[in-house]
Structure 1
C-alpha cells in the first residue's frame, strides 16, 4: 500500500469512527474531547505500551515496577530521545513516589531501567540522572526475550502487528 492509499484509508477509518461515535453519543460536545491536533502538551506513545509496561515490570523484579518511571520519562522526552532532568523530586512525584524515600525509590528504579538497557544516564547539575537517553523499548525487549513469560512477548508481538509496528522483526 502506497502513501496515498494509506492516507485515503486512514481518512475513511476516521470518518467511520466519527460517525459511530456520533451515533453512540448523540449529545456529545466535541470540545469536551482531547484532540492532539488542537491542543498543546501531548506526546506520541506506542499503542503497545500496556504490553511493554507488563514486560518491563516483570524484568525489573517482583515489587519493583519501573513502568511508571518510564512513562514519566517518556512524557518529557522529545524526538531527540533525550531529556534534561531539572528536579529529581518532581520526577519522583510524577512517577508516583512520595514521602521521605521518594527520590531514593525513584533513583533505584532509574538504576534498574539503566541496568536493563531501557535508558542511559549522564551526570550533571541535578545529579547522576541529569541527562537521560531513552532507547526504543522494542529493541530492549528483544534483547531480554528469554527472561520473561513467552505469552507476554507473543501478546506484544500480536498487538504490534495489529498496529503496524515493525520494530520487533528480527
Structure 2
C-alpha cells in the first residue's frame, strides 16, 4: 500500500485530536471501501447554484445533481425510470413526473445535457455535457441568469483546484503532468 501524502498525514493527525471519540474506520464513509460513489467536480455546489439561478422560479439544480449521481464516466443516463428519477430529484405528488420532465427539458435547452428519444419516449436518454463549458458559453453569450459574482466564484474555485476548463485557450501541450 502506498504511503499517505504529507497532507493526508496532517489531516489524519488533526482529525484524531479534534474528534478523539470517533472511530474513523467504522464511522466515516470511505469511497475506497464503500460502493456507491461518483466522481464530480469540486465546484458542483457552485454549478448547481448557477443552474438554479438560470432556472429561477423552477430550479433544476437537484435534477442535474441526480442525473450526475447516476452517470458513470461515460456521462450517459437512461431516463426510462422517470418516476424514480423524479422522486430522487425531490418531486412528489401527481405532477412529479411532469415537473421533472420540465426540468430535464430546461437543462437540455440550456445545454447542460443533451436528450434523445427512445423506447421510453422523447425523454429516454441523456448525455451530460461539461458544465464548465456550458456555463462559460452562457456567460460569454451574456445570459442574464449567470451573475458575475457566481461566475467569478466559479473561475476562482476552478483555478484553486486546477480545473482548466474555463481557460480561454486549452491545449493538451500546456497540461502539466
TM normalised by structure 1 equals 0.91
For residues 49-71 of structure 1, what are the alpha-carbon distances to aligned partners after superposition, in whole Å with 9 as ceiling and x for unaligned? 111111111112x2110100000
Match of residue 5, structure 2, among 3, 11, 14: 11
Of 3, 18, 41 in structure 2, the residue corresponding to residue 24 of structure 1 is 18
* Whole-angstrom CA distance in 2 between matches of 1:92 and 1:22: 41
Q: Secondary structure at the match of 1:130?
A: strand
How far apart are residue 163 of structure 1 and its match?
1.3
Aligned residue in 2 for 1:56: 51
Separation in structure 1 between the aligned mates of residue 158 and residue 127 of structure 2, nearest angstrom: 23
**C-alpha distance in structure 2 between counterparts of 1:17 and 1:26, whole Å:** 13
| Partners of 2:80 and 2:125 within 8 A in 1 | no
Per-residue deviation at 1:78? Answer: 0.8
Question: Does residue 39 of the first structure (1) align with residue 34 of the second (2)?
Answer: yes
Structure 1 residues 106-141: Cα deviation after superposition (integer angstroms, max 9, x where no partner): 000000000000001111122222111000100000
- Give the number of the structure with larger relative contact order, counting CA–CA contacts within 8 Å between residues 6 or more apart: 1
The count of aligned residue pairs is: 162
Q: 1:116 aligns with which of 110, 118, 122?
A: 110
SS in structure 2 of the partner of residue 111 of structure 1: helix
Q: Find the residue that maps to 1:120 and give its secondary structure.
A: strand
5+ residue gaps, structure 1, are 1-6
Deviation at 1:161, TM superposition (A): 1.2
Indicate the RMSD between aligned Cα atoms, in angstroms: 1.5
Whole-Å separation in 2 of the counterparts to 1:123 and 1:54: 28
Give the gaps of 5 or more residues in structure 2.
169-177
The match for 2:81 is 87
Task: Tell me the distance in 2 between the aligned counterparts of 1:128 and 1:18.
Answer: 49
CA distance in 2, matches of 1:22, 1:96: 36
TM-score normalised by the chain length of structure 2: 0.87
